[in-house]
Structure 1
Amino acid sequence: MSRSLRADAQANYNRLLEVAAQVFAREGADTSMKAIAAEAGVGIATLYRRFPTREDLIEATYRSRTDLLCDSASKLLGDLAPVDALRTWMERFVDYMLTKQGMADALPAILATRDGLRLHSREALTGAVTGLLAAGTSSGDFRADVSPSDVLMALGGITLISGHEHQRELATRLISLLLDGLVAHAGAAPPD
């Protein structure tokens, strides 16, 4: 958003994005705008004043979820050891992807037509993983040869598989396997 909102208007805006993320994850992007407004506790006019089209709401929800996820990486590192911070962030990534899957039908067209949205997301996610890996490498917890891109690709695969199987707990088990591969083991030779 380009201009500052009053505190109550900002609270409504944030609430709409939070509820939209939950509803899109649960019911998909075609859900009723009126239902989103009602669940957020605002009038439909308030929703349309902030998001004139469904695409505007989907874009804002996607951007907001991406930013919240990426911003959480540094906060996690402030509270947790690098391995625990990365594990928690990966779990949040899976939940983020489940929300994104709820918008799957509409999101490709939005990503293709909204300048910079795809690049913004890619750079933000890569930056978050880079920071988490760097902290773990610096502490000696993670191998030094790990690429942030590889971690994101693996996480994408985990999300795809567990989402297809409708088994959220499968994602947690696969995250543990991925983390085991990232952890530096004393005396282990680096892979070829």
Structure 2
Amino acid sequence: MRTDARRNVEALLEAAKTVFSAAGVDAPAKEITDLAGVGVGTLYRHFPQRSDLIKAVIEREIDACADAAPALAAAHEPGIALARWLDRFTAFVATKRGFAAALHSGDPAFDGLPGYLMQKLGPALESLLEAATASGEIQTRISAQDLLYAVAKLCAPMPNEDPDYGRRMVALLVDGLRSGESPH
């Protein structure tokens, strides 16, 4: 891909991420292209279907979340690195207005995303879990897959709760993972 085309794709993905977070995945294409500083034709040349754009934004966010694990592990104690990564994953899950509905729409463009998420985030989280367990900072009874699913469930919108509710619930989960007396 040419440099200018790659730059346009990155601008579109960043703009779509921002617009989707604020207005949902059904936001007008013009809003995305205006924010990206490109024409609508450029959007459709790179992402012929809205599902192509949604999928690309989700994959990009998954990749960024996975890539954060080694940097957090290098910069922090294992328990803190795990907690910060889970906070980042929580923000990813909680701020994607309309993504869940789109993913469950039956559109075949999204069929591979759950597997992609587990393929990328599973190993990233597993490395953080192993380090935190080895350091004695957390209990050993949870798998990366179970923890990813738990965070996703805790981030489901709740009626009459503020948007930060999911983050507070994940913080409780992380506190519960910390070592101490384990129940029988």
User: TM-score band (shorter)?
Assistant: 0.7 to 0.9
Within 2, Cα distance between the matches of 1:154 and 1:45? 40
2:172 aligned partner, one-letter code = L
Within 1, Cα distance between the matches of 2:109 and 2:165? 34
Percent identity over the alignment is: 36
SS at match of 2:96: helix
Contact map agreement 2:19 2:27 (CA 8 A) in 1: yes
Partner of 2:66: 70
Within the alignment, does 1:149 sit opposite 2:168 as a pair? no
Contact map agreement 2:90 2:170 (CA 8 A) in 1: no
Contact map agreement 1:21 1:99 (CA 8 A) in 2: no
Extract structure 1 runs of 4+ deviating beyond 6 A. none
Partner of 1:177: 172
Contact map agreement 1:25 1:100 (CA 8 A) in 2: yes
Root-mean-square deviation (Å) = 2.1
Within the alignment, does 1:48 sit opposite 2:36 as a pair? no
**1:144 CA displacement:** 2.1
Contact map agreement 1:143 1:184 (CA 8 A) in 2: yes
Partner of 2:118: 122
- String of CA shifts for 1:165-187, please: whole Å, max 9, x gaps: 452433333233212211122xx
Contact map agreement 1:97 1:159 (CA 8 A) in 2: yes
TM-score, structure 1 as length reference: 0.84
TM-score, structure 2 as length reference: 0.87
SS at match of 1:129: helix
Aligned length: 184
**1:101 CA displacement:** 3.3
Partner of 1:23: 19
Within 1, Cα distance between the matches of 2:168 and 2:95? 20
Contact map agreement 1:58 1:107 (CA 8 A) in 2: no
Contact map agreement 1:25 1:98 (CA 8 A) in 2: no
Within 1, Cα distance between the matches of 2:41 and 2:16? 15
Within 2, Cα distance between the matches of 1:113 and 1:95? 24
- String of CA shifts for 1:108-147, please: whole Å, max 9, x gaps: 2366445533211122222222111011112221212222
Please give the residue correspondences for 1:129-168 in structure 2 after superposition, counting only pairs within 5 Å: 129-161=125-157, 164-168=159-163
Partner of 1:34: 30
Within the alignment, does 1:8 sit opposite 2:27 as a pair? no
Contact map agreement 2:51 2:109 (CA 8 A) in 1: no
